[in-house]
Structure 1
Amino acid sequence: MYNLILPLHSLVRWLVLISLLAIIFRSYFGWLGKKEYSKFDERLRLIAVTIAHIQFMIGVWLYFISPITNWFMHNFSEGVRLREIRFFGMEHVTMMLIAITVVTIGGSKAKRKVIAHDKFRTQAIWFTIGLLIILSSIPWAFSPLVHRPWLRGF
């Protein structure tokens, strides 16, 4: 199961990033350009939040079946001293929980706004913060601290 969930998590990460970038772009464009909030904008918000939630659920599933986090949980005192183990056992999951919370709050707040300007502004701010948290906590291929491939094969 692990060999299926890990590549799936790697793949869906790109969908999260693309959908968040799309909604952030539309939100800043609508906010600063004083555009009307359309059904497309509403759908895009819903898609971005939904994909982020799906990714988070895949990540939680992965967390509980991963040999890295399993080792971390059973060897906590030693695991917190090992950068890569600590990253996946503690840091990544904590930051992603914070990010999904920020994205969810932003989506919910935007949904309740009535004025298009307020919807766009709310989305732009909350989703940008969420994306920055996500970007800071992904084990990028170029990271000198903890790195993983750009995309894992199935």
Structure 2
Amino acid sequence: MYNLILPLHSLVRWLVLASLLFAIYRSYYGWLGKKKYSRFEDKVRHTTATISHIQFVVGLWLYVVSPITTYFIHNFGTAVRMRDVRFFGMEHVTMMFIAITLITIGSSKAKRKAKDLEKFRTQAIWFSIGLLVILSSIPWAFSPLVHRPWFRGF
């Protein structure tokens, strides 16, 4: 199971990043350009939040079956001093929970705004903050602290 979920989680991360970047681009473009918030914009907002939620569920599933997090949970006193184990057992999941919460709040608030510019502004700000949290918590291949490959094969 772990060998299937881990590459899936790695793959879906790129969908999350692409959809967030596109939604943020459309939000700033609409906000700064004083555009009309169309059905397309609403679909972008909804799709981005949905992809993010799917990734979070896959991540939670991975958390449950991962040998790294299992070790972290059962050996907390030792594991909390181990950078890689602590990152995946505590830091990554916490930061991603915060990011998904920010994206969800932003999506919900934007949907309920009455004016188009308010929708764009709200979505742009909340999604941008969520993206920053995500970018700070991904184990990038170039990270000196905790790193993983860009892509994992199935």
In structure 2, what is the Cα distance between the partners aligned to 1:24 and 1:108? 15
Structure 2 residue identity aligned to 1:38 = S
Q: Secondary structure of the residue that 1:36 maps to in structure 2? A: coil
In structure 1, what is the Cα distance between the partners aligned to 2:93 and 2:79? 15
In structure 1, what is the Cα distance between the partners aligned to 2:149 and 2:44? 28
Structure 2 residue identity aligned to 1:53 = H
In structure 1, what is the Cα distance between the partners aligned to 2:105 and 2:151? 29
- Structure 1 gaps of 5+ residues are none
Q: CA deviation at 1:50?
A: 0.0
Q: CA deviation at 1:87?
A: 0.1
Q: CA deviation at 1:104?
A: 0.2
Equivalent residue runs for 1:46-85 within 5 Å: 46-85=46-85
- Structure 2 gaps of 5+ residues are none
Q: CA deviation at 1:114?
A: 1.2
Structure 1 residue identity aligned to 2:98 = I
In structure 1, what is the Cα distance between the partners aligned to 2:45 and 2:114? 15
The CA RMSD over aligned residues, in Å, is: 0.3
Q: Deviations over 1:116-146 (max 9, x none)?
A: 0000000000000000000000000000000
Structure 2 residue identity aligned to 1:89 = G
Dislocated runs of 4+, deviation >2 Å:
none
Structure 1 residue identity aligned to 2:144 = P
Q: Secondary structure of the residue that 2:28 maps to in structure 1? A: helix
Question: Structure 2 length as normaliser, TM-score?
Answer: 1.00
In structure 2, what is the Cα distance between the partners aligned to 1:82 and 1:3? 23
Question: Which residue of 2 is the match for residue 120 of structure 1?
Answer: 120
Provide the aligned length of Structure 1 versus Structure 2: 154
- The alignment-based identity, stated in percent, is 73
